Amino acid sequence: MSQVHLGIDVGGTASRWVACDTTGALVARGSASGATAHVFNPAEHARLAGVFASVAAELSAAGFEAASLCAGMTGFGQPATAEIRAMASAALGLAPDAVLVMDDIAMAYAAHFRPGEGHLISAGTGSIGIHITSKGEVVRVGGRGILIDDAGSGSWIALEALDQMYRALDHTGSFDELSELAAEMFLAVGGNSWSDVRQFIYAGDRGRIGTLAVGVARAAEAGDQTALDILRRAGAELAGLGEALSKRAGAGPLALIGGVLNLHPVISEEIAWRFPGVEVTRPVIDSAFSAARLGVSEAGQAWLPLLARGLSTP
């Protein structure tokens, strides 16, 4: 069997993997079910083990065997490092020291920046910002979930819209003041009664709630000013993550990733105008591919010592 370097990006709903040869050329790519790094939960432990087993089976069927693994996963915490390394090692036939594990946002940062080079903001179902110093210290802002914050995320946008709708109903007895927004939100929910909305929100997870942000974007495109204001405020909240990182880690280029940025131009515009003179970009990051090439790429050489030692939070 041919040896390959493996990168895996483990997400809550789906996982993606890439295999590269010793020169860093892509030789295989695939997907697996979703999982998290919450291995303290037996069900999540089984899901993550299933991801590693699935990837191992696909590699073997293609005539490859892993020589190393770099994996980023949602929900990762440093205390789980040894256990997750052991799980991956057992499934893929690797020595534990050939396995690097980290959270998915750190892996995305390493895919785009060198250590200490800039700030990364991710806005999807949730929202989070990160900077990793040249010494491997992690400065993280946001990312605490919709019950606490996640301002500017898809879930936040959806809940802000519903809040505005039902406040209008309480004060006027109808949705007439926000008719376009209400119509799009009810379309996304699949019903226009409070029972429909209540079931959608309270019986679902944050990923499902976040899908309603598309309704807000459609209303904004149709000229609904309340929807447009919510999206503008989402941009301001995401800019706040960048401002917090700049305050704590110093000024630097700002990279924006995540599906929320595709909802409406006003979100990125709101962020950009708050950072005059700063390079603000929206890169397309292939975390799994970059992780697989970590050992052979020039950029990877700056990361390997830090990742092998383990990133730290000061």
More confident: 14 or 185 = 185
Tokens coding 87: 């799980």
Tokens coding 96: 């534990």
Least confident stretch, 5-14, 204-213, 240-249, 253-262: 204-213
pLDDT digits (tens, 9 = 90+) for 50-91: 999 999 999 999 999 999 999 999 888 888 999 999 999 999
DSSP H or E run through 165: helix 154-172
The three-state secondary structure class of 163 is helix
Map out the domains of the chain with their CATH numbers.
Answer: 2-94+284-309 (3.30.420), 115-283 (3.30.420.40)
Percent of the chain whose pLDDT exceeds 70: 99
Residue 314 has pLDDT above 70, yes or no: no
pLDDT digits (tens, 9 = 90+) for 160-214: 999 999 999 999 999 999 999 999 999 999 999 999 999 999 997 777 899 999 9
Q: How many whole angstroms separate alpha carbon 74 and alpha carbon 298?
A: 26
Nearest to 235 by CA among 273, 190, 201, 208: 273
Q: How many whole angstroms separate alpha carbon 10 and alpha carbon 21?
A: 21
Q: How many whole angstroms separate alpha carbon 205 and alpha carbon 211?
A: 10
Mean residue pLDDT across the chain: 94
pTM for this model (two decimals): 0.89
pLDDT for the residue numbered 53: 97
Q: How many whole angstroms separate alpha carbon 248 and alpha carbon 135?
A: 15
